[in-house]
Amino acid sequence: MKLFPKRKQKLKKPEIDAVIDKIRGEYDKYIVTFHKPATLKQAFENRYRTALIEGMDIERFLNEEIAAVQSIFIHQKKIDKEKKTEQEKERQKALRKNQPDFADQVLKKLKDKIIVYPALKFHKDASYEITHLYGAIWKFEKQHWPSIDNFISENQSWALRGEKKDFNNEIWRFIPSGENGIPVVLERYYFMLNRSDTPLKEISYEAQQCIKQAAFLLNDILWSCNQIIKTGIDSNIIEKNLIYVQNIVEDFRIKDLKNR
């Protein structure tokens, strides 16, 4: 950056002093802004005295000096900006490392709710959600289903009419059976987990199907009981059993997965 156009006459002392003051000001700004040592400004003063002693072209000297100080200012500003950007990236990275992301938080909340249900451990690689969901169904079949079964059987002939369903046959598919103690609904999932060449995408899809089928069963049972209750039948004898089913569909977030 040249401060002076070509001219025939030499610079006058006031003009030289004005440029010197400008250069000194640039160094002051650079030193204060970027916390640099004051020796940088002193180095300029030394070069200026040398230029005067050696009779150098002052216009050329001052042009070079002003260009140099402005150049290092711009360069340092760029470096600091890049440094701050990198520091911000590292800070965000540290935050992500120390704080679980949204998906992790959702999974943790789900685990905190379903851990109270027993786990049906049929495969070491089975998903946490499936092992506890089918464990909950197994507990339901043993402890809660008998009362609900009697309630539905005694009232479905007239209360449900064409909506009658053989739940006993359905529930059997969801509880441990056979030599391996694996529910029929989970057999394909179990087979896929045992194959090392099964793509994870296919395993994940099958897991979702297993969850969906369980949701259909539980929500169908709830629907049938509620339809009977709507006719005026006393539900007190099965209230605690229905609450257990209702808790399952809510805690596993499957209450909206319905056949109807």
Q: What is the Cα–Cα distance from 257 to 260, expressed in whole angstroms?
A: 9
pLDDT bucket at 178, cuts 50 / 70 / 90: confident
pLDDT bucket at 80, cuts 50 / 70 / 90: confident
- Do 139 and 237 lie in one domain? The reply is yes
Number of domains in the chain: 2
User: Which of the pair, 174 or 164, is modelled with greater confidence?
Assistant: 174
Q: Give domain status of residue 104, yes or no.
A: no
- Mean pLDDT lowest for which of 136-150, 160-174, 179-193? 160-174
Q: What percentage of the chain reaches a pLDDT higher than 90?
A: 41
- Do 125 and 93 lie in one domain? The reply is no
User: Which of the pair, 16 or 225, is modelled with greater confidence?
Assistant: 225
Q: Give domain status of residue 258, yes or no.
A: no
Domain end point (choices 68, 98, 128): 98
b/e per residue 224-250 (b: at least 16 CB within 10 A): bbebbbeeeeeeeebeebbebbeebbe
- Do 59 and 125 lie in one domain? The reply is no
- Do 20 and 45 lie in one domain? The reply is yes
Q: What is the Cα–Cα distance from 253 to 40, expressed in whole angstroms?
A: 67
Domain of residue 190: give its range.
Answer: 110-251
Contacts of 31 (CB under 8 A, 6+ apart): 37, 38, 40, 41
Q: Give domain status of residue 173, yes or no.
A: yes
Going from the C-alpha of 114 to that of each of 72, 149, 241, the distances in angstroms are: 62, 25, 17
Record the pTM: 0.60
- Do 128 and 44 lie in one domain? The reply is no
- Do 93 and 209 lie in one domain? The reply is no
User: Which of the pair, 234 or 246, is modelled with greater confidence?
Assistant: 246
pLDDT, position 18: 87
User: Which of the pair, 101 or 38, is modelled with greater confidence?
Assistant: 38
- Do 87 and 49 lie in one domain? The reply is yes
pLDDT, position 220: 93
pLDDT of 4 > 50? The answer is no
Token pair in block for residue 111: 């685990």
pLDDT of 160 > 80? The answer is no
pLDDT, position 15: 84
- Mean pLDDT lowest for which of 55-69, 130-144, 167-181, 228-242? 55-69
Q: Give domain status of residue 41, yes or no.
A: yes
Instruction: Confirm if 254 and 137 have CB atoms less than 8 A apart.
Output: no
Please measure the distance between the N-terminal and C-terminal CA atoms of the chain and give it in whole angstroms. Answer: 78
pLDDT bucket at 93, cuts 50 / 70 / 90: confident
Q: Give domain status of residue 259, yes or no.
A: no
- Do 76 and 141 lie in one domain? The reply is no
Q: Give domain status of residue 178, yes or no.
A: yes
Domain end point (choices 52, 68, 98): 98
pLDDT of 98 > 80? The answer is no
pLDDT, position 1: 47
Residues 87-107 have a mean pLDDT of 68
Domain end point (choices 98, 119, 138): 98
- Do 27 and 156 lie in one domain? The reply is no
- Do 71 and 136 lie in one domain? The reply is no
With tokens 């179990």, the residue in question is 190
Q: Give domain status of residue 176, yes or no.
A: yes
Residues 140-161 have a mean pLDDT of 87
- Do 64 and 185 lie in one domain? The reply is no
- Residue 76, number of CB atoms within 10 A of its CB: 14
- Do 117 and 85 lie in one domain? The reply is no
